[in-house]
Chain A
Amino acid sequence: MHPAFILAGALAAAEEKEHSLLLPELPDLIWGSVAFVIVLIVIIKVVMPNITKALDARRDAIEGGIERAEKAEAQAAATKAEYEAALAAARTEASHIREQARADGAKILAELKEQAQAEATRIAANAQATIEAERQSALASLRNEVGTLAISLASGVIGESLSDDKKASAMVDRFLADLEADQKAKAGK
């Protein structure tokens, strides 16, 4: 065996005897410090900012959510008020229209009534006039008829013809005058 190996082996053996669980060795301390520093840097430079960022984002999201909800609520309230106003306006208008309609109806009714009244009056007046005319014509025709009848009756009774129109007419007129006088006397009683 090469002397160097023996030497190395001896050195290694000598070294191993020095090892103790309670005495730290330099490489152990160095790598231990390195390990700590690396993790500390990662936590300070990477982990903490990331966590802070995430928590901030989460808080923002929650606050934003609350804000959004409040906005939506306000909007809903505004819409509701608007709607109620519109409803009230519509109601007012409806009642207005109803009133108008009622008034219009009343007016129309009155007009119609008036018209009907006028018509009725007119018709009644017409009827009156017609009746009057009829009566006059009936009276005239009656006068003729009665005169003829009475003369024919009288000529029958006295046996002579009252053909002389002058005589006949005088007779009829006297008869009628007597009749009227008789009636007046009756009315006078």
Chain B
Amino acid sequence: MILFLYALTTSLLVAADDPGNGGFVGPSVDEYFPQVLLFAGTPFELNRITLIRLIAVAALVLILWLGTRKLKLVPSRGQATMEFALDFAGRGIAIETLGEKDGKRFAPLIMTIFFLTLALNLTGTIPGLQIASTGLIGQPLILAVIAYVAFVYAGVRKFGFGRFMKNSLWLPGVPAVIKPLIAVLEFLSTFIVRPVTLTLRLTMNMVAGHMLLALCFLATGFFFNLLIQGSAWGALSAGTLLLGIAFTVLELFVAALQAYIFAILTAIYIQLALAESH
């Protein structure tokens, strides 16, 4: 019911925005590059997307701060939820993957990646915001670079540069003849493919999700306008509205899933770098 109202409101907002009369205009990636709102011409330009990013960060900081400010011995329902989320990221992802000692070391980093990604992803389904700033490639790239630096740092710190590279590239149990070839492949896979896939997976998931939702709601608005004008085609708006609702639920799931994937992959990369050999 809430979802229905939400989808309907969104569609009507879109419909109201529509200049009308013209044919159907689908969503485009230009939505990720709206006009600059603040600090135009400087490197600190803020547009709608980056502003939404900052709003999400502010909300996240507020939730984290207020949520952990007065943790009681016997948790209330809200505190239990907060503790569940923190425990999920800190223990469920970091410590479960890396073990107690290294897990605790890297838990703040992994928790940051998880909660930041989750918060930024969720703006994709929040009415009025309706776009995930992780769809803008800079943010996933920054996070991927941080994950990259983290696992290289972890490996080099533990083994020294030479042994870390040897651990990563010179695999035991591989016939000596093809070892160099495997080493090149391993290098590509570990040091190039990993950050690229981390970045693209998140960006493209968010862009695709936004496109799906925008398409559904734009179509609903378009057909709704037709309905008002008395065309039978307008009845299709019901179908596209339902699709919009379904994809909204899917996007909520994807937002959480992508945050989890990013965080757990970071943890796994660090774990692989710390492993004696693999």
- B73/A58 in contact, CB under 8 A: yes
B104's nearest neighbour on chain A, judged by CB, is A48
How many Å lie between the Cα of A174 and that of B53 in the bound state? Answer: 168
- B61/A51 in contact, CB under 8 A: no
CB distance from A136 to the nearest CB of B (A): 112
Instruction: Name B43's contact: one of A16, A27, A47 (CB within 8 Å).
Output: A27
In the complex, what residues of A have CB within 8 A of residue B165's CB? none
How many Å lie between the Cα of A16 and that of B31 in the bound state? Answer: 11
Instruction: Give me 18 other A-B pairs in contact (C-beta within 8 A), A34-B57, A36-B116, A54-B68 excluded.
Output: A12-B35, A19-B30, A24-B138, A25-B138, A29-B138, A30-B44, A31-B44, A32-B138, A32-B139, A36-B142, A36-B146, A38-B61, A39-B64, A42-B61, A47-B111, A54-B71, A54-B72, A58-B73
- A46/B68 in contact, CB under 8 A: yes
- A40/B112 in contact, CB under 8 A: yes
A22 contacts B by Cβ under 8 Å: yes
Instruction: Name A28's contact: one of B71, B90, B111, B136 (CB within 8 Å).
Output: B136
B207's nearest neighbour on chain A, judged by CB, is A21
In the complex, what residues of B have CB within 8 A of residue A187's CB? none
- B35/A40 in contact, CB under 8 A: no
- B139/A43 in contact, CB under 8 A: no
- B53/A47 in contact, CB under 8 A: no
B7 contacts A by Cβ under 8 Å: no
Known: A23-B137, A39-B61. A16 touches B33 (CB 8 A): yes
Instruction: Name A46's contact: one of B33, B35, B65, B90 (CB within 8 Å).
Output: B65
- B44/A48 in contact, CB under 8 A: no
How many Å lie between the Cα of A44 and that of B108 in the bound state? Answer: 6
Q: Give the secondary structure class of B's interface.
A: helix
Interface size class of B (residues with CB under 8 A): 35 or more
User: B-contacting residues of A (Cβ < 8 Å)?
Assistant: 12, 16, 19, 21-36, 38-40, 42-44, 46-48, 50-51, 53-54, 57-58, 61
Q: Give the secondary structure class of A's interface.
A: helix
B143 contacts A by Cβ under 8 Å: yes
CB distance from B114 to the nearest CB of A (A): 10
In the complex, what residues of B have CB within 8 A of residue A57's CB? 71, 73
Known: A43-B108, A53-B71. A32 touches B141 (CB 8 A): yes
User: A-contacting residues of B (Cβ < 8 Å)?
Assistant: 29-30, 32-33, 35, 43-47, 49-50, 53-54, 56-57, 60-61, 64-65, 68-69, 71-73, 83, 86, 90, 107-109, 111-112, 115-116, 120, 136-139, 141-143, 146, 203, 207
In the complex, what residues of A have CB within 8 A of residue B50's CB? 27-28, 31
In the complex, what residues of B have CB within 8 A of residue A21's CB? 29, 32, 137, 203, 207
- B53/A31 in contact, CB under 8 A: yes
How many Å lie between the Cα of A48 and that of B116 in the bound state? Answer: 16
- B141/A43 in contact, CB under 8 A: no
CB distance from B93 to the nearest CB of A (A): 13
A25's nearest neighbour on chain B, judged by CB, is B138
How many Å lie between the Cα of A33 and that of B43 in the bound state? Answer: 13
CB distance from B110 to the nearest CB of A (A): 10
Known: A21-B207, A24-B137, A40-B109. A35 touches B120 (CB 8 A): yes
CB distance from A73 to the nearest CB of B (A): 23
CB distance from B146 to the nearest CB of A (A): 7
CB distance from B152 to the nearest CB of A (A): 17
Known: A12-B35, A21-B207, A36-B116. A46 touches B138 (CB 8 A): no
CB distance from B37 to the nearest CB of A (A): 11
In the complex, what residues of B have CB within 8 A of residue A44's CB? 108
Q: Indicate the member of B35, B61, B69 with the most A CB atoms within 10 Å.
A: B61
How many Å lie between the Cα of A35 and that of B121 in the bound state? Answer: 13
How many Å lie between the Cα of A51 and that of B88 in the bound state? Answer: 13
